[in-house]
A = this chain, B = another copy of it.
Amino acid sequence: MSRSNPRVLSTLERAGGFASAQEIYRLMQREGESIGLTTVYRSLQSLVNDKIVDVLRRDDGEAIYRLCGDAHHHHLVCKSCGETVEIEGGAIEKWARVMAEEHGFRDVGHTAEIFGICSKC
């Protein structure tokens, strides 16, 4: 197993700590960095193995990588224009823990997103 190319991690950080492999690749290209898509995928896999980043799935199935240390938060997304607001989880955090415990689940995580139409749309 290969080691992670440090520029990939640095780009993921610069992307807000939340991006897909393809996005990271395109971002690096746009910034003139020479790297292959394969290396981006391999580096991300390695970072996941080392538990430096988490991997989640978008609704369309694409894998998105998230820096672990990042402050946990959720999103409020406009269905029309795509505007996204980062919000606090608040009550959800406890809800997830309680529900999981109630059913005997461990190592739990959660996803939660609110979508609607923003005031500008």
Partner-B contacts on A (CB < 8 A): 57, 61-63, 76, 78-79, 85, 87, 89-92, 94-96, 99-100, 103-119
Contacts and interface: CB of A to CB of B under 8 A. Distances in A.
Contacts of A116: 100, 105-109
Given A78-B105, A106-B117, 7 more contacts: A89-B95, A90-B95, A108-B114, A108-B116, A109-B115, A110-B113, A112-B113
A100 to B, nearest CB: 5
Contacts of A79: 107
23 contacts: A57-B57, A57-B61, A61-B62, A61-B63, A76-B99, A76-B103, A87-B99, A87-B103, A90-B99, A92-B95, A92-B112, A96-B114, A99-B114, A100-B114, A105-B117, A105-B119, A107-B116, A107-B117, A110-B112, A111-B111, A111-B113, A111-B115, A112-B113
